[in-house]
């Protein structure tokens, strides 16, 4: 029997800003309901290559998804695919690049925003293509999918933090305010998910520098949070920084499925 997991990827979220501004998540950590760890993203610190790393465990040099313009289906088994192979259901409320990586490429803006196809890796999806699509709406999209389909794996991927980071930079009040807004949204949904038996992981693909960019090797661009809330007996007593290629095998262990042959051994 598979466990149920919600994975939230908050695009463009730096570790230090998450730790200093996300009061609700920090409250849960303080009360020992969850834990916060550091992830070091792969390079280049760009979105599409790192979506692939998070969801398949494969680094960009192996996946050949090496920049945001590499628009095609993944050649590796994703968490979505593994859940389906184990008889489970996956749902995603996410940026349209996730559909292009794991369901259908190229993305058709007229027909692919709402997807229901049991033959696909992501059986039920709500995909947006505008970076300013409101985070509040996306979380509701995800919750509607969850309540309707009761998935084993729910992936939610808002773009608001990344969008504001590009416009104003990491050290801006606008960026900090957006991070706080997302924390408030999460305070509505996390208690519901935990009450209904879901494990919850919150992380990011990459961070953001003060110029409003990401692609380089600085800690601002590469060090991102990994929050875990749940009841699993998985050993997540981790010191130091977790390599991003370890995220996928950790997720597999939390769901209760075997990792793919492409993934590293889970060392935690």
Residue 1: which pLDDT band, with cuts at 50, 70 and 90?
confident
DSSP 8-state class, residue 266: P
Q: Name the percent of the chain lying above pLDDT 90.
A: 93
In Å, what is the CA distance from 4 to each residue of 87, 243, 253? 13, 24, 11
**CA-to-CA distance for 115 and 204, rounded, in angstroms?**
24
What confidence score (pLDDT) does residue 240 get? 78
Q: Can you give the pTM of this predicted structure?
A: 0.97
Which contacts of 216-223 are long-range, i.e. CB under 8 A and separated by 24 or more positions? 216/44, 216/45, 217/43, 217/45, 220/14, 220/170, 221/41, 221/45, 222/40, 222/41, 222/43, 222/45, 223/14, 223/15, 223/16, 223/38, 223/39, 223/40, 223/41
What confidence score (pLDDT) does residue 237 get? 58
Q: How many residues can be counted in the chain? A: 268
Nearest to 78 by CA among 98, 107, 108: 98
**CA-to-CA distance for 120 and 42, rounded, in angstroms?**
27
* Environment class of 239 (CB within 10 Å of its CB; exposed 0-12, middle 13-18, buried 19+): exposed
**CA-to-CA distance for 186 and 171, rounded, in angstroms?**
22
**Mean pLDDT computed over 109-126:** 97
- The per-residue pLDDT of the chain, averaged, comes to 95
Which domains occur in the chain, in start order? 4-255 (3.40.720.10)
CA 257 to chain centre: 18
**CA-to-CA distance for 171 and 223, rounded, in angstroms?**
15
Q: What are the tens digits of pLDDT across the range 214-230?
A: 999 999 999 999 999 99
**Mean pLDDT computed over 177-181:** 98
């Amino acid at each position: 029997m598979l466990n149920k997991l919600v994975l939230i990827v908050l695009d463009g979220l730096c570790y230090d800003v998450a730790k200093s501004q996300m009061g609700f998540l920090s409250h849960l950590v303080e009360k020992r309901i969850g834990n916060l760890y550091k992830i070091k993203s792969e390079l280049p610190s760009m979105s599409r290559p790192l979506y692939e790393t998070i969801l398949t465990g494969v680094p960009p040099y192996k996946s050949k998804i090496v920049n945001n313009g590499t628009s095609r289906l993944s050649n590796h088994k994703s968490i979505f695919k593994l859940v389906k192979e184990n008889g489970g259901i996956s749902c995603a409320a996410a940026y349209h690049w996730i559909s292009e990586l794991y369901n259908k490429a190229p993305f058709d803006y007229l027909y692919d925003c709402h997807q229901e196809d049991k033959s696909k890796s992501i059986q039920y999806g709500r995909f947006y293509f505008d970076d300013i699509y409101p985070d509040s709406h996306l979380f509701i999209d995800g919750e509607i999918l969850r309540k309707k389909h009761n998935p084993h794996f729910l992936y939610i991927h808002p773009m608001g933090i990344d969008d504001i980071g590009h416009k104003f930079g990491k050290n801006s009040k606008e960026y900090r305010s957006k991070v706080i807004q997302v924390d408030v949204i999460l305070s509505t949904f996390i208690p519901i998910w935990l009450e209904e038996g879901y494990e919850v992981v919150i992380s990011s693909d990459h961070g953001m520098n003060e110029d409003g960019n990401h692609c380089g090797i600085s800690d601002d661009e590469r060090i991102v949070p990994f929050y875990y809330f749940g009841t699993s007996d998985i050993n997540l007593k981790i010191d130091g920084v977790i390599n991003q290629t370890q995220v996928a095998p950790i997720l597999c262990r939390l769901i209760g499925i075997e990792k793919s042959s492409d993934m590293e051994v889970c060392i935690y």
